[in-house]
Structure 1
């Protein structure tokens, strides 16, 4: 398929995405929930600052990278990951549930090109969405922490890496969700699979043993946690590098694209 035709597919998938009334609401609710979690944690730090007896240790607080980690908390990351994987799942499973996928494949026999266009649109939108959420979370939390003189600027060591890691969590999870949805073709079953992969799997593999640590390190949420460790001080038997975490991000994204494009080509509808 030539470039012009692929651009037409991109345009069609873009219109299809925004034709659903639920799409803007899904993004808005997700953004508000994630930013709210992060801002709430920062406010708790501000409110209970003196009670926690850290007022005299502000420099150490900053040196340990806690303000940067507060910009995107663990709870917020889980909400973000689950919400974006759900958006990815719905983007493909809704077409199977309504039977619209048959019409789509009849109109566009080049299934792999069609799926590639779906993935491209989702990845682009999610990248922009993730960047907006991550940046707003960072500036909001640092403004709140700044009231206690522990907010940090965006050029603080590790801040840009944390923002980028949090922003890219959205497209990675979304394309993984699309791959799961393409394989299972059922929203409920796909969501269970997404929860297992993103939420439960990191708890199944301990980092105390070599092989289980390796399996743990191959998971997207484990990669996010590694990239958020600022500064990184190895406290586990088998530490790994931030480069390895970025590779995990890329491997999951590319693997999901390959799976989704292969599966739709072999399906009977």
Structure 2
């Protein structure tokens, strides 16, 4: 009698992918890219370094004190003293060029989370395994938001602590000072908001370079067109952009506002949150209504 191999019963078919499975998959995809930890690590160091360098420069200038003028003043016979060097201690922790760089890094990371799948063809496999594209995009958004929120929080706290420590003898602030916590929270939220904007750009453009150019144009170049105070509608249009909203939230409330048409803090929070929600909605709509 011929011996036969034992027959193993077939297991039950796997059920539909649950949302936690999608989260785990998207987390693996994001961190499987070698560039992710390097971009976040190097970007955080550069952003913090720019702000620390600005704080150290301000501290050095304040240590030297006011310098006398080039010659005697008329009618007094004595050298006039230069006006004291004025600076914004809170603004030193959140220097515009540094945080504009953070915006670009966060947006490009969000764009790569989706455009990379289209570039490699992995999107076809993903959507074949999970036909519900909205769930896939939602999982990507949750992972990108969580990673960038942690990244933005670390950079904001480190920048604030390091710069104010350097300025402790020249009016450095503490978390208890007015506007300090608001500025840190706004700067921490700026990264995930820009990440969601980048996710929307990746869904619309579906090309890494094109998505990067799109986010740079929307987040950095477009606000430059709406900075004039000549026409009110121009300035109020600029207030609807995330860069201007963030600038309002990191402004020291103890300093006067030099703008003709300033925005309120409530308006700035609304704009910042609206851009995050809009980025998610656009990404879901673009992936749902456009084929791979």
With the length of structure 1 as denominator, give the TM-score of the two structures: 0.91
User: C-alpha distance in 2, partners of 1:171/1:204?
Assistant: 24
User: C-alpha distance in 2, partners of 1:28/1:110?
Assistant: 34
Q: 1:153 aligns with which of 174, 177, 183?
A: 174
- Secondary structure at the residue paired with 1:48? helix
Query: Which segments of 5 or more consecutive residues in structure 1 lack a partner in the other structure?
Result: none
User: C-alpha distance in 1, partners of 2:62/2:268?
Assistant: 33
In structure 1, the partner of 2:71 is none
Query: Does structure 1 residue 257 correspond to structure 2 residue 270?
Result: no
- Secondary structure at the residue paired with 1:151? coil
User: C-alpha distance in 2, partners of 1:115/1:104?
Assistant: 11
* Superposition deviation, residue 153 in structure 1: 1.1
Sort the Cα spacing of 1:52 and 1:201 in 2 relative to 1 into closer, same or farther, 3 A: farther
Query: Does structure 1 residue 74 correspond to structure 2 residue 87?
Result: no
User: C-alpha distance in 1, partners of 2:61/2:204?
Assistant: 48
* Superposition deviation, residue 192 in structure 1: 1.2
Q: Contact 1:17–1:91 (CA<8 Å) still a contact in 2?
A: yes
Query: Does structure 1 residue 162 correspond to structure 2 residue 183?
Result: yes
* Superposition deviation, residue 25 in structure 1: 0.6
- Secondary structure at the residue paired with 1:152? coil
Q: 1:198-209 alignment to 2 at 5 Å?
A: 198-205=219-226, 206-209=228-231
* Superposition deviation, residue 225 in structure 1: 0.8
The one-character-per-residue Cα deviations of 1:90-130 (angstroms, maximum 9, x if unpaired) are 11111111111111111110001110110011011111110
Aligned residues: 262
Query: Which segments of 5 or more consecutive residues in structure 2 lack a partner in the other structure?
Result: 1-16, 68-81
Q: 1:37 aligns with which of 44, 50, 53?
A: 50
* Superposition deviation, residue 45 in structure 1: 0.9
Query: Does structure 1 residue 186 correspond to structure 2 residue 214?
Result: no
With the length of structure 2 as denominator, give the TM-score of the two structures: 0.84
Q: Contact 1:208–1:237 (CA<8 Å) still a contact in 2?
A: no
* Superposition deviation, residue 52 in structure 1: 5.5
Q: Contact 1:122–1:174 (CA<8 Å) still a contact in 2?
A: yes
| C-alpha RMSD of the superposition | 2.2
Q: 2:148 aligns with which of 126, 149, 154?
A: 126
Kindly indicate whether structure 1 or structure 2 has the higher relative contact order, using CA contacts under 8 Å at least 6 residues apart: 1
